[in-house]
Amino acid sequence: MVFPPLSQALTHYDSHGRHRFHVPAHAGHGERLGASVFLSDPYRYDLTELDGLDVLSDPEGCLADSQASIASIFKVAHSFLLVNGATVGIEATLLASLKPGDKVLLPRNVHRSVVSGLVLTGAQPIWFLPERFSHWGLWGGVSLESIERELKKQPNIKALVITSPTYEGIGSDIKSIATLCRNKSVLLIVDEAHGSLWPLSDRLPQSAAHSLADCVIHSIHKSAGCLTQGALAHLPHHSRVSSAAYQQALNLLQTTSPSYLLMASIEACCHFWHSKEGQERLNNWLDQVLELRVQVPLLLKTLSLFEAENPQQAQLCDPSKLYWTHPQIQGDDWGSAFEEELKLAYESASPYGVLYLMNPGLENDDFKTFAGLMQKGEARLEASDSKTVSCQKALESQNPSVLIPELAFSPREAFFSESEHVNIENALGRIAHEMIVRCPPGIPVLIPGERISEAHLPFLPEHGIRVIQ
């Protein structure tokens, strides 16, 4: 049988026996995380909004009960099932919270979905740069002091959006920031997509869901292990966002034909982690993660693991995200070599380094495998005597993500402006009509309405870019 293209690509990926240290968090083994038996026969239970199955846009039956049970597990006032990923949850939050012209304070490392929310709402972004670990090529957390400083400069801020933890697991002191925002009458929206397990264990950093934040988004498939695209939005207790307003915003964006299999996998995943079996697995998993973080660096000579700089920062970081760098070889070079030669599949790679995820769907043997393959891979790098030199300082100086470009039009104005396509050589100084994003992790390099600088040119698509006429 000849498979069509996508089916062929999926079966090809699976047939190569890769060791999966990437999303989704189930690592290809949903049965380990309490996936219900019907997921093994998906077509039988691939149902829609039929009698007895409720309506997601106006839940009053089983879906309302499911969301209430999940809210109880996460200890929040309201939870919403998301079948379009965390993206739709973030977009709906902005739509429920902001109106055209409202100023929203944003660190430069927000996800592209926040920019989509700006287009939808017509809100005005006020950008600032969060902490940056230049040597590692990583965004750090957002400090309380930086928020205080920005709010003094911009007194009419309506909302603040923060990514915590970052893609690589670095968190911010949301508790203190939430208290400041509450005192300043600023709404706080937290993209906690990569920290879905945080509310479910006191051994992980404190979740924004248990703070004075107004809305918290979790990407359940990324770090808790449901089917891909499954996510949750939460309104914590004392949230200033109306649940009715949020539901209305969600209904404008989310499909009217939600996957009941996907919603059931979200529900099953949440209830599993709340169960005795789930908590035991969670604790064993964390034991393995913490042991690996100590043992593997001792086995390696040149590869370096990113670690928090102090105990306070460590309390805000997710230990299951392992980010490695090599002093001479670019990350996307050695990461790709490890995957091709050793079947060690990574989550993401850049010139700076490589990110591996120690997902809760992994077993104890997977951790041993990872340690052995990293040691074997490093030995191959040394034997190859590679001459590739990666100067972190040079990389950082060429990185347009660390700049705040001139905003000539609001993202919404730019999106609805007349546009034309230009080649790279004709793009300098023009106003971007489209978003340029490196994905993963989905952080924009350039957004609609920003002026294209020389630093942006190497990051533009080879075919060019659409700009405002």
pLDDT tens string 365-377? 999 999 999 999 9
Q: What does each C-alpha distance from 218 to 323, 345, 408 come to in angstroms?
A: 21, 24, 33
**What gap in Å lies between CA 366 and CA 90, rounded to an integer?**
33
**Which amino acid is it at 386?**
S
User: Quick one: average pLDDT of 248-257?
Assistant: 97
pTM to 2 decimals? Answer: 0.94
Contact call for residues 157 and 186 (beta carbons, < 8 A) = yes
- Residue 383: pLDDT band by 50, 70, 90 thresholds? confident
The tally of CA atoms less than 13 A away on the side-chain side of residue 446 is 31
**Above 60 in pLDDT, residue 392?**
no
Instruction: Give the pLDDT score at 387.
Output: 47
User: Quick one: average pLDDT of 344-349?
Assistant: 96
Pairing state of beta strands 321-325 and 304-305? antiparallel
> Domain 5-28+275-384 - what CATH class?
alpha beta
Q: Does domain 398-468 have CATH number 3.90.100.10?
A: yes
Contact call for residues 385 and 378 (beta carbons, < 8 A) = no
Sequence-ordered strand ranges (E) for 200-342? 215-218, 231-235, 304-305, 321-325
Q: To 5 degrees, how large is the angle CA 165–CA 171–CA 172?
A: 125
Place of tokens 């969060």: 130
**What gap in Å lies between CA 398 and CA 407, rounded to an integer?**
20
Give the number of residues written for the chain: 469
Strand partners, 25: none
Contact call for residues 197 and 222 (beta carbons, < 8 A) = no
Taking the alpha carbons of 333, 396, 136, 319 in that order, is the dihedral positive or negative?
A: negative
Residue spans of the domains in the chain: they are: 5-28+275-384, 34-274, 398-468
Percent of the chain with pLDDT over 70: 96
Q: Which of 169, 173, 214 is nearest to 195 (CA)?
A: 169
**What gap in Å lies between CA 190 and CA 215, rounded to an integer?**
6
**Above 80 in pLDDT, residue 175?**
yes
State the Rg of the chain over Cα.
22
Options 3.90.1170.50, 2.40.50.100, 3.40.640.10, 3.30.420.40; CATH for 34-274 is: 3.40.640.10
- Residue 273: pLDDT band by 50, 70, 90 thresholds? very high
- Residue 343: pLDDT band by 50, 70, 90 thresholds? very high
